Structure 1
Amino acid sequence: MEDPLTEEPPPSRFFDEDLNNFTPPSPSLSSPSLHFTNPNTTLTSLSPSLLIIALSSPSIHLIHQISSKTLIGTLILPEISTSQIEKPSPKDKSCYIYSLNDSTNTLFVSFQFSIPAERAHSIAKFLFEKILPEKVLILESIQSRNFRGKLPPDEELMFKLETLEEKCCLGDLIVKDLEYFPCGSLIDGLAAAILARCQLKKIRATLVVSWPELGRSAVEKVKSLLQGVLPDVNFNFSNGDLGVYRIRNSRANSEMYT
C-alpha cells in the first residue's frame, strides 16, 4: 500500500504560467506628493520637534480652531480628488500640513479623508521620508468593531500606545497619566501604520485613541489632551463650534496592529 505522506502529489491540471490567469493584476498606484503653499519651502526644513497627526474627527476639528498656525502645504494622493478651497475647513476632503506660529517647532498633519487599507503603509512610509520629527503624537478614534468589550455610549474613554523609544522616556513622556489600550483590542488603518513606521525608524511616538468618535464630549476630551501637550496654544471656538462634522463616512478594513 502506498504511503500518502511520502507519495508525490498528482500533477496540476494547469501549467504554472496559467495559474494566475483568473486574477487580474492590481493596478499600480502613483506615489503621493507634497504641494507647498510657499515655493521657498524645502523638504530639509520639515524637521519638527513635535509632529501631531490628526486622524479622528475631534482632533481635525480642534486643529482648525487654532488661530496661531500657518498652512504650509498639502499631501496629495493621485487617486483622491481633493478639495480646492482657499480657506481650509474641517469638511474639506484634503490633507493639510500646518506649522505652529511659536518657538516650539510643531507641525500638524490633518488627514480629512479615509485612507484605503492598501495605501496605509505606503503613505506612512512617504510621510516619514519627507518629515523628520523628533516626536510624534497620533490622534485617532476607537473603533467599536476592534474593541474588546462594550463601549459605553455615555462615557468618554481615552487610551494610548507607544513606541519602545517613548516608553524609555519615563520622566518626559509626550502624554502622561493615560492608561494603555486594553490587551485584546486592536488598532488598524493609517494610525497603526504610522505607529509601526515610527517604531521601525526608532522615533518617539504615542498613539492616543478616544471614544466617542463624535460630539461635544469627544471634542472636550481631545482638547484637554492637546492643552496638556501644548499648554500655550489657544483653541478659539465657541460652544456653537463644538458640533463635529463626520469627516470620514466609511473606513476601510486594513491590517491590524495590537
Structure 2
Amino acid sequence: MEDVLTEVPPPSRFYQDELNNFAPPLPPTPSPFLLFSNPNPNLPLCPSLLIIALSSPSLYIFHHVSSKRLIGGLILPETQFSGNSIEPSLRNKSCNIYSLSDDEEKSVILISVQCPVAAERSHIVAKLLIGGEIVPQRVVVLDSVQSPNFRGKLPPDEAFAFKLETSSERKGLCDGFKGLEYFPTGSVVDGLGAALLGRCQMRNIKGSLCVTWPEFGCDVVSLVKSLLLDNVLPGLDLSTLHNGGGGDGDEFSGFSQIKDRSYDSDLYT
C-alpha cells in the first residue's frame, strides 16, 4: 500500500510563474521626483558642471565642504526617511542637491546620493538627474569598484582609480581625469553610475565616471580628494577634511559600516 505522506506528489499543472496569477497585483511604486527649495525655480538648471557623488569617499569629502548651499533634493518614494536627523549627516538616507558656485557662467551643482537606488530604478533616476530639469554641460560621476564585477585581483591594501568616459568627453582637450587609466576590458560597472554615464552618452554630454577602490578607508579618501583638486575643482576648500582620521574619522567609520549597496545587483554595461 502506498504511503500518502512520503509519496512524491504529482507535478502541478501550473508553471511556477503562473501561480502568481492568483495573487492580487502589487500597487505600482510612485515615480521619483525632484523637489527644489525655491518654489519658483528657473528651470531647467544649466550648470557648467554637475557632480554626482555615489561612493562613500566622495560623499564624505563633499559633506565637509562648507561652501555648498542646499537647493533641492531627489525624492524616492520607496526610501524611508524616518530616523534622519534635521542637520545634514552622513547617516541620513537622502539625496540632496547643492550649489557649489553662484557664478552663472561657471555654475557647479553637486548631487549627493546617500540613499540606495534599486537597479531597476537606476534609469528613471538618471533621466531625472540629467536632461530633464537639470541640463548640464559636463557631468562627473564618482562611484566605487565592486569586486564581483572586476576582472582581476583587487589588493585590499592599495587604493587606485579608473575612469570611463563618453565619446564627447574623450574628444575634449582640457577636461577629464588626466593620467587616469581606463576601466579594464571585461570588468563591469553597474547600477546608477552606469545608468548616469549611459544617459550622458545618449544626450551627447561630456561625461566621466571615476570608480575607486577600496570602497572605504583613509587612503581612498586621500586619492579621491587629490583627483578632485587636480582635475575637477582646483579651488575647492577642503581645509576641514580629516581624511577619515581623527575627530570626524569616527563619523566616517560609522558611515562606512552602514552604507548599503545591496540594491545594486543587476548588471549594466
CA separation in 2, counterparts of 1:216 and 1:120? 29
Q: Does 1:156 align with 2:167?
A: no
CA separation in 2, counterparts of 1:223 and 1:131? 25
Letter paired with 2:206: R
Query: 1:23–1:182: structure 2 CA closer, same or farther, 3 Å change rule?
Result: farther
Query: 1:30–1:152: structure 2 CA closer, same or farther, 3 Å change rule?
Result: same
Q: Secondary structure at the match of 1:205?
A: strand
CA separation in 2, counterparts of 1:160 and 1:24? 45
Q: Which consecutive segments of 4 or more residues in structure 1 shift more than 4 A? A: 22-26
CA separation in 2, counterparts of 1:242 and 1:174? 30
1:118–1:254 contact (8 Å) kept in structure 2:
no
Q: 1:180: which partner in 2?
A: 182
What displacement does 1:86 show? 3.1
Q: 1:54: which partner in 2?
A: 53
CA separation in 2, counterparts of 1:205 and 1:24? 43
Query: 1:26–1:163: structure 2 CA closer, same or farther, 3 Å change rule?
Result: farther
Q: 1:101: which partner in 2?
A: 101
Superimposed CA distance per residue, residues 103-143 of structure 1 (whole angstroms, 9 cap, x where no aligned partner): 33000001101111111111111222121000000000100
Which range moves more in the overlay, 233-242 or 139-148? 233-242
Q: Secondary structure at the match of 1:140?
A: strand
Which range moves more in the overlay, 150-159 or 18-27? 18-27
Q: How does 1:134-173 map to 2 (within 5 A)?
A: 134-169=137-172, 171-173=173-175
Letter paired with 1:237: L
1:99–1:108 contact (8 Å) kept in structure 2:
yes
Query: 1:70–1:160: structure 2 CA closer, same or farther, 3 Å change rule?
Result: same
Superimposed CA distance per residue, residues 130-158 of structure 1 (whole angstroms, 9 cap, x where no aligned partner): 21000000000100110111110111110
The match for 1:237 among 238, 241, 252 is 241
Query: Structure 1 stretches of 5 or more lacking a match?
Result: 1-12
Q: How does 1:199-218 map to 2 (within 5 A)?
A: 199-218=201-220
Letter paired with 2:260: N
CA separation in 1, counterparts of 2:19 and 2:94? 40
2:168–2:206 contact (8 Å) kept in structure 1:
yes
CA separation in 2, counterparts of 1:156 and 1:201? 32
- State TM-score, norm by structure 1: 0.86
Q: 2:38: which partner in 1?
A: 38
CA separation in 2, counterparts of 1:242 and 1:158? 22
Percent identity, please.
51
Aligned Cα root-mean-square deviation (Å): 2.1
The match for 2:262 among 236, 251, 258 is 251
2:139–2:208 contact (8 Å) kept in structure 1:
yes
Q: Secondary structure at the match of 1:181?
A: coil
Q: Secondary structure at the match of 1:51?
A: strand
- For this pair of structures, how many residues does the alignment match? 241
Query: Structure 2 stretches of 5 or more lacking a match?
Result: 1-12
